Amino acid sequence: MNFCSECGHPTQHQVPADDNRPRHVCTHCHTIHYENPKIICGCLVTYQDKVLLCKRAIEPRSGLWTLPAGFMENGETTGEGALRETWEEAFARPKLGELYALTSIPYISQVYLIYRAELETPEFASGPESLDVQLFAADEIPWEQLAFQTVTKTLQHWVEDQKSGHYPLHSIELEERIQARV
């Protein structure tokens, strides 16, 4: 941020009094512009023993497969955001289940919340941000063509949990970029 969103004057990156890290501080009205992590919510949608994946039509990672998920909007719950993103990207209206994967990605300041969600009928279609939407059995998942490391980790848990039929909440922390994937 180079200019203050309150008054339009330039900001400086400095540590405010009584703080311990640099912030964008307005040189004119002295407003401190805090920046905090972004929340991304989405669904691990299943139909029978298959999982719904979307092939991204947009950058980053266009052409690779992901779970339907996106930035939470103001004024909605995380579950509502997860279902909204699932509709926007996959035109699917599953029944929302429990929170399944919570991923912290501190190096890009993002938090992912992925809920389990179940389709009663296999009705879905590509939304504007998807090239394709398909159901995959555990042994059909395109591991080499997944868009994000958090998606890979979440699907690894799902494949493992499918064997026991128990789906506890998984807390995932991504410490570093692996294979240049986020």
Site residues for Zn ion per CB under 5 A: 4, 6-7, 26, 28-29, 31
Please, which residue, 31 or 134, has the CB nearer to Zn ion? Answer: 31
Least distance to Zn ion, CB of residue 2, Å: 12
Least distance to Zn ion, CB of residue 23, Å: 13
Least distance to Zn ion, CB of residue 21, Å: 20
**CB proximity list for 149: less than 8 A, separation 6 or greater:** 174, 177, 178, 179, 181, 182
Please, which residue, 3 or 91, has the CB nearer to Zn ion? Answer: 3
> CA–CA separation, 15 vs 60, rounded Å?
32
Q: What 3-state DSSP class applies to 133?
A: strand
Please, which residue, 1 or 29, has the CB nearer to Zn ion? Answer: 29
What phi and psi, each to the nearest 5 degrees, are found at residue 66?
Answer: -150, 170
